[in-house]
Structures are given as structure tokens and as C-alpha cells.
Structure 1
Amino acid sequence: MKIAAIQMVSGANLQRNLDIAGQLLAQAAAQGAELAVLPEYFCLMGEHDTDKLKIQETCGSGPIQDFLSRCARDLGLWIVGGTLPISTTAAERVRNSSLVFDATGQCVARYDKIHLFRFDNGVECYDEARVLEAGTQAVTFDLASCDGNTYRIGLSICYDLRFPELYRQLAADVLLVPSAFTFTTGQTHWEVLLRARAIENLAYVIAAAQGGVHDNRRRTWGHSMMIDPWGQILAQQAGGPAVIVAEVTQEFLQSARARLPALNHTVLGA
């Protein structure tokens, strides 16, 4: 099964971001991808944290969800919509949610980011909890591929990458990590964390990232990456908007797990 990771440099204009995302999704479909993953905040990297509140949607209704559904249906492509702001009962909070659309345009899964990023090095300061409400549930979905195999896909978002217990709970064949990693943390931690999650879970990791300088002057690390269960990098993109594609196979997955049956050797937390 071919999977595409889409890298973007999203800005403060929602429609422009959707237009670019649509073009990149079409490229992914043209390259034979069955599943395409957009990055975190693909629809908006606003000037202020509170800009997320202005474009929030009720789950099941809204122009961003309509866009994702239409692209999935028109392209015959499974799409993981990076993240978009989904309304909560709290007026000043939204969930940072990944929505999964199948190739008919139906929304088949939703994951709300569990771990909220906080970072302050005296120069850069981020605190997602100012406007985000944390999710509570790990989420997987099954994708029956044209290759005759069904893959269990595990959902996560950006900062979740630092919490390995989530990925072990997912027990998935393919782990998705749509992200907007900062340049500061990304240059040191991004690759090593992604490869660690692949190795310890003997799973493919697909990380679609934001990669460049945004309208709000924030710089994201980029380096969208696709990694096999042995920890080898299959494809990557340093910076700028792009589509990278790699093939995942049940044969390699099962071969890796048979050679090193570490998943069967869990003692603590079993």
C-alpha cells in the first residue's frame, strides 16, 4: 500500500491553505497513494493562538470538513486531515482533531490530541492549553488496502510523539504523526523520536510536517518522514510544500516482527 505524507507551510489565510492542500492531495493520488496524511494545523497557522477559535467547526459540519470529504471522494483517496479545530462545550477552547475520511468521503475516525505542547526557552514560548482542550482516547482505524491486506492505523499528533506509552497502546501496523514541530526542538529530537517509535513498536511511522517560515513568523522544522519497522528512513523532505510517497507492506512488517518478536516479550504493563 502506498502512503503519502504531505508537507506544507500553512499561513493565516484559510482558503489559500485549502487550495494548496487540494493541489498536494491531487499529486498524492496521481502517484498512486491510497492514504494521504496532511500536517498538523494544515488549514491554518494563524497570527495568534486564538485564531483557531475563529475557524472552529462542529464535528460533522463545516467548510474544512466539507473540503476533506470532497477531496477524498473526488480523488478516491483515504485522507487524514492533519488537524483542525473542533468545537467543545467550552467557549474559549477547541479540540485539536485529526479526522479520517475514507475514499467515499465518509468520516470514519476522529482523534483529539491528548498531550498539549508547552515550551519556553526564554525566546520562544508556546502553551497549547491556552486555547486547546486535551483529548482522552487513543484511536485506531482499519484500512483494507488494494494489496489485499488490512492495516491497523494508529493516530497521534505532534507532541504525542514524546509519550511512547500511547503508541504501545495503539498496537498498530502504521503510526501517523501529523506535526508542526518547532525548528528548535525538531533539529535535535524529531528524527530520533520518530525512529524510536518505529523501532520499539515494529511499525511503520508516517510523519507529515509543517516545514518553513509561516505568516506568524514561527519557523517549523519540516523533514516530513516515512520510516519502516526496522527504523530505516524510506522517504523524507527537508523543507517547503511537497508530497513524499512510500510503500508499506504486510510482508516486511511481519518479517520484522518475526525476526525480533519484542512485542511478544512485554512484561511491565502487560
Structure 2
Amino acid sequence: MAKSLTISLVQTDNVWENIDVNLKNLTSKIEEIQEKTDMIILPELFTTGFTMEAEGIAETMDGVGIQWMLDTANKKECVVLGSLLIIESGNYFNRLIVAFPDGNIKHYDKRHLFSFAGEDKVFKAGTERMTFEYKGFKICPLICYDLRFPVWARNTEDFDLIIFVANWPNARMLAWDTLLKARAIENLCYVIGLNRVGIDNNQLVYTGHSAVYDAMGATLLNFEPGEGAIGSVSIDIDHIEQTRSKFRFLEDRDSFVIN
């Protein structure tokens, strides 16, 4: 039997800079997931929206947002993944958290900060890519603007799935759709892009376009534009192994070091 992973994507709006209300709303939405799932994915900065007003709203690694993720992971017996606004050692991070049902966590700090919106003036950039293994899958989680940098996303570690969590505005939706598919094709792996919907306090419109692509770039799941919804999909290791056995393109990839 093929090893498979069932993943639930929560494409949702949020309330600007209101952690408590966003967590309450997400709790209600996640309760709608009745089927067994192995992973729940939430958007970038899902507790606050894409705010640059970090002071006074950023939380620590033992804050309410991460505790909520751990509680949800325990209750649903699955991984919960999304990014939060974190303060640590006097620095602010757009930090992706992976909360495991056993109480462990891993994290990744966004490498490519969105200078177009001044993110680089507020947050400190991450320096290391993080991968983790879960139920036989090797997974690489990244954040939003990272999608535009194929070298950073390059499959040098033979991972099976790349996940991008995002606040990607509707004005640049064509780039989102195109680059997600490209990352799947060039890396011969599954790619998941989970984006938000709604309008934020900067009057930016988000229409979602969350999607899942297989290693050949075929669409496995997508959402109605602008719709707040939850979608689930199962991915399997056999597809990765068969695709890479037939198309041995990764064997010809370049070797490089990122400074």
C-alpha cells in the first residue's frame, strides 16, 4: 500500500491585528474538518494579517498563538502549520511554525522579506531553510515571497512536498498561479500554496487561489476565487517515486551553496 498523507488547507479571511478573534474563528472553522487529516495548513500571519506594526502585537514562542497551534494539533491528532508574528531576542520574525501532535515544534524564519511593503525594515530575515519528516514524507515549508526565488526552493534534499503559506494580493495572482506550478515541475515534487482571502487594512484584496500540484504540475485541488473554504487532498509517495524513476531530471541539477 502506498504511503499517503491527507492535508487540509484552510483558505480564510482574518481580522486585522486581532489575535483572539482570529483564533476563535479558526477554531470554529477547523471543527468543520470531520474526516481524519494528517496536516492542517493556515495562511501567512494568520493571527494578525500582513501588518508591519509589530511592536505590541508580536508574541513570544510561548505565546497564545503557538499554544493554540499545539492544542489544536493535539486535539486533531495532526500537524498544524502556519506563520506568526514572533518577537525573540529583540528581533521580529515572520516565523512559520510546525506544531506536532506530540507537543514538539519546528520553525522557519522567512528568508525573503517583502521590501515592496517594507517588511525588511521591520522583520529580521531567516538564514536557514528547514525541512521536516512526517509519516514518510520529507517536507519543506516556505513563506509567500520565497516563491519568487527558485534557488531557495530548489530541491537539493530530495523533499517530497514544498508548502508555501501566503498573503498574496489579487493584483499579482497570475504570478502566484504560474510560479506554484513551476516550482512543482522543476523540483519533481508536490507543491501546496495556501493563500488568504478578504480585504486587509491596507485595502489590498486577496482572492486565495490556494492550490495543490503534483510532481508533473497537474492540479489536484483548487478553490473558487475569493471563497473562504476548507479543502482536503491526499498525496502519495508512489507518485513521487514513479515520476522520478521515469523522469530523472533531478540527477542533472546544479550543485551550489547559498551564502
Question: Could you state the TM-score of these two structures normalised by the residue count of structure 2?
Answer: 0.91
Match of residue 171, structure 2, among 165, 177, 184: 184
Question: Partner residue of 2:179?
Answer: 193
Question: Partner residue of 1:66?
Answer: 67
Instruction: Name the count of aligned residue pairs.
Output: 250
Structure 1 pair 153/268, CA: closer, same or farther in 2 (3 Å)? closer
Distance 1:88 1:44 in 2: 17
Residue aligned with 1:205, SS = strand
- Specify which structure has the higher proportion of strand: 2
Coordinate RMSD, CA, aligned: 1.7
Question: Partner residue of 1:217?
Answer: 203
Which runs of 5 or more residues in structure 1 are unaligned? 120-125, 145-149
Q: Report deviation, 1:170.
A: 5.0
Q: Which letter maps to 2:97?
A: L
Distance 1:203 1:53 in 2: 38
Report if aligned partners of 2:170, 2:206 keep a CA contact under 8 Å in 1: yes
Which runs of 5 or more residues in structure 2 are unaligned? none
Report if aligned partners of 1:45, 1:216 keep a CA contact under 8 Å in 2: no
Question: Partner residue of 1:99?
Answer: 97
Question: Partner residue of 1:42?
Answer: 46
Residue aligned with 2:198, SS = coil
Question: Partner residue of 2:105?
Answer: 108
Report if aligned partners of 1:172, 1:203 keep a CA contact under 8 Å in 2: yes
Distance 2:58 2:113 in 1: 18
Q: Report deviation, 1:24.
A: 2.7
Q: Which letter maps to 1:117?
A: F
Residue aligned with 2:129, SS = coil
Residue aligned with 1:27, SS = coil
Question: Partner residue of 1:57?
Answer: 59
Matched, 1:18 2:20: no
Question: Partner residue of 2:76?
Answer: 75
Distance 2:247 2:219 in 1: 19
Matched, 1:89 2:89: yes
Question: Partner residue of 2:162?
Answer: 175
Question: Partner residue of 1:32?
Answer: 36
Distance 1:20 1:261 in 2: 45
Match of residue 141, structure 1, among 132, 149, 155: 132
Question: Partner residue of 1:123?
Answer: none
Matched, 1:229 2:215: yes
Distance 2:69 2:21 in 1: 14
Q: Report deviation, 1:177.
A: 0.3
Q: Report deviation, 1:136.
A: 0.5
Deviation track 1:125-183 (CA, whole Å, cap 9, x = no partner) reads x1211211111100000002xxxxx0001010000001111222453101110000021
Question: Could you state the TM-score of these two structures normalised by the residue count of structure 1?
Answer: 0.87
